[in-house]
């Protein structure tokens, strides 16, 4: 039984980017490289480790470039995503999530044979299952106790409950207590800078008191990790977090750009490098031309995409395979014309594609397969 098709590649090396077939993900390499370098410099200057989140790109090619720029490894959110990274040669992975169920725990244990694996925990039963799986495979994994630092999405309460779970981790065979994860997901997208800062200050304080409580009980947190593209400089400057895990900074989606551009310098710091490339495939309704990229090419959970190449035009409505535009009066587009779109949320958008088509000086210079695409298990 054939279980998968070889993904059609929308481009060939050396072609002008205008010849790339659509829908496709275009990566502006100079902008991407500036983003890589800026984040690496920011982490270096703050004296924290950089462990970018691979859930944004799902591509070992990008992970290797992040590591070459100084990242200590990457984060993954799923075991199958980590498998794609391991197969692609990445050897230091934090699964920044709880892994539940014997099937996945066994797969995680097998990955721990091939490199340095870390994982989060927020439940004693899960920690017991994790320990049992590692013992079955004669491996050891680093465990970070995840704190609920305000986002109410996974994580034990800070303080005593965290101490209790950390103690259990520390005495469990096959597990090494490594520290804390305190990722405040909801804060990443708070539009107002001061409000976002208050949320992160709270997260920092929760990590600090928990770190101190653990230290006074003989448990050292080697790592305290968290922070995303919306807040990383706050965690990096906290003297509490030892590691930041931003993902979207390499691409900059519309949602993050909207907020960060309001923050003012030094926050206006990353460029859009990722575009969904799309073709006008119908102009039969003149004022409402249709693009070939809809819900199966663009994540719309953070709103419709912005049209990068046509001032005043709006992406009005997404259906499964179509996007209907609204043009400003007097504007026309031609059948076959191609437009770049900036997606609201880069992560679910990348998950819909098989290739990054990387462009420099107007030509395709790299093709990176998104081998972790759809890795949900």
Binding residues among 336-355 for a second copy as defined by CB under 8 A: 336, 345, 347-348, 351-354
Task: Establish if 198 lies at the interface with a second copy (CB under 8 A).
Answer: no
**Burial (CB count within 10 angstroms: exposed 0-12, middle 13-18, buried 19+), residue 152:** exposed
Task: Give Cβ neighbours of residue 222 (< 8 Å, ≥ 6 apart).
Answer: 178, 179, 242
Figure out which of the listed residues 3, 216, 265, 311 binds a second copy, where binding follows CB under 8 A. 3
Tokens 């462990």 belong to 51
Figure out which of the listed residues 194, 216, 285, 311 binds a second copy, where binding follows CB under 8 A. 285
Shortest Å, Cβ 319 to a second copy: 6
Nearer to a second copy, 15 or 213 (CB): 15
Tokens 């100079």 belong to 30
Nearer to a second copy, 141 or 280 (CB): 280
Residue by residue, DSSP assigns 177-226 as: EEEEE---HHHHT-SSHHHHHHHHHHHHHHHHHHHHHHHTTT---SEEEE
CB burial string 246-273: b at 16+ within 10 A, e below: bbbbbbbbbbbbebbeebeeeeebbbbb
Task: Establish if 253 lies at the interface with a second copy (CB under 8 A).
Answer: no
* Preceding peptide of 23 cis, ω within 30°: yes
Nearer to a second copy, 265 or 284 (CB): 284
Q: Which two tokens stand for residue 311?
A: 């001032």
Task: Establish if 23 lies at the interface with a second copy (CB under 8 A).
Answer: yes
Figure out which of the listed residues 176, 198, 202, 322 binds a second copy, where binding follows CB under 8 A. 322
Shortest Å, Cβ 336 to a second copy: 6
Nearer to a second copy, 46 or 150 (CB): 150
Nearer to a second copy, 46 or 228 (CB): 228
Shortest Å, Cβ 77 to a second copy: 5
Q: Which two tokens stand for residue 144?
A: 């970070």
Figure out which of the listed residues 128, 170, 288, 310 binds a second copy, where binding follows CB under 8 A. 288
Q: Which stretch binds a second copy (CB under 8 A): 2-10, 111-119, 201-209, 224-232?
A: 2-10
250 within 8 A of 273, measured Cβ to Cβ: yes
Q: Which stretch binds a second copy (CB under 8 A): 131-139, 171-179, 258-266, 278-286?
A: 278-286
Give the DSSP letter of residue 156: B
Task: Establish if 169 lies at the interface with a second copy (CB under 8 A).
Answer: no
Give the DSSP letter of residue 53: B
Q: Which two tokens stand for residue 77?
A: 């959110």
338 within 8 A of 15, measured Cβ to Cβ: no
Task: Establish if 326 lies at the interface with a second copy (CB under 8 A).
Answer: no
Figure out which of the listed residues 157, 312, 328, 362 binds a second copy, where binding follows CB under 8 A. 157
Strands ordered across the beta sheet of 175-181 = 49-50, 243-244, 223-226, 175-181, 141-146, 116-121, 92-95, 74-76
Tell me which residues in 201-240 interact with a second copy (CB under 8 A): none
Of the CA atoms within 13 Å of residue 49, those in its CB half-sphere come to 17
Residue among 189, 201, 198, 185 at smallest CA distance from 151: 185
Figure out which of the listed residues 318, 341, 342, 357 binds a second copy, where binding follows CB under 8 A. 318
Figure out which of the listed residues 40, 128, 132, 295 binds a second copy, where binding follows CB under 8 A. 295
Tokens 């320990």 belong to 131
Figure out which of the listed residues 93, 219, 300, 359 binds a second copy, where binding follows CB under 8 A. 300
Task: Establish if 22 lies at the interface with a second copy (CB under 8 A).
Answer: yes
Residue among 254, 248, 255 at smallest CA distance from 227: 248
Figure out which of the listed residues 66, 148, 223, 225 binds a second copy, where binding follows CB under 8 A. 148
**Size, binding site for a second copy by CB under 8 A:** 82
Tell me which residues in 73-132 interact with a second copy (CB under 8 A): 77-78, 80, 83-84, 87-88, 97-101, 103-104, 122-123, 125-126
Tell me which residues in 353-372 interact with a second copy (CB under 8 A): 353-354, 369, 371-372
Task: Establish if 4 lies at the interface with a second copy (CB under 8 A).
Answer: yes
């Amino acid at each position: 039984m054939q279980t998968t098709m070889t993904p059609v590649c929308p481009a060939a090396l050396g072609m002008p980017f205008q010849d790339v077939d659509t829908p496709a993900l275009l990566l502006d390499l100079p902008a991407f490289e500036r983003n890589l370098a800026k984040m690496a410099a920011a982490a270096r200057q703050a004296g924290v480790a950089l462990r970018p989140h691979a859930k944004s790109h799902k591509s070992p090619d990008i992970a290797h470039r992040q590591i070459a720029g100084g990242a200590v490894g990457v984060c993954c959110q799923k075991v199958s995503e980590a498998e794609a990274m391991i197969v692609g040669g990445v050897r230091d992975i934090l699964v920044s999530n709880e892994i539940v169920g014997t099937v996945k725990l066994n797969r995680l244990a097998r990955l721990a044979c091939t490199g340095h694996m870390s994982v989060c925990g927020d439940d004693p039963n899960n920690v017991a299952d994790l320990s049992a799986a590692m013992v079955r495979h004669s491996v050891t994994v680093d465990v970070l106790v995840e704190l609920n630092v305000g986002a109410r999405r996974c994580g034990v309460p800070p303080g005593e409950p965290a101490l209790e779970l950390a103690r259990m981790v520390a005495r469990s065979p096959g597990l090494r207590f490594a520290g804390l994860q305190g990722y405040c997901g909801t804060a990443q997208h708070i539009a107002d800078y001061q409000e976002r800062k208050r949320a992160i200050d709270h997260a920092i304080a929760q990590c600090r008191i928990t770190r101190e409580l653990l230290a006074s009980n003989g448990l050292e947190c080697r790592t305290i990790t968290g922070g995303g593209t919306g807040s990383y400089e706050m965690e990096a400057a906290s003297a509490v977090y030892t590691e930041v895990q931003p993902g979207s900074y390499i691409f900059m989606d519309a949602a993050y750009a909207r907020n960060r551009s309001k923050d003012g310098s030094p926050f206006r710091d990353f460029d859009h490098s990722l575009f969904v490339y799309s073709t006008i495939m119908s102009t039969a309704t003149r004022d409402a031309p249709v693009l070939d990229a809809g819900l199966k090419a663009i994540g719309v959970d953070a709103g419709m995409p912005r049209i990068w190449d046509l001032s005043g035009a709006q992406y009005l409505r997404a259906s499964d395979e179509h996007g209907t535009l609204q043009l400003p009066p007097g504007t026309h587009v031609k059948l076959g014309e191609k437009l770049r779109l900036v997606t609201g949320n880069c992560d679910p958008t990348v998950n819909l594609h098989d290739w990054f088509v990387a462009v420099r000086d107007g030509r395709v210079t790299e093709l990176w397969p998104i081998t972790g695409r759809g890795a949900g298990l």
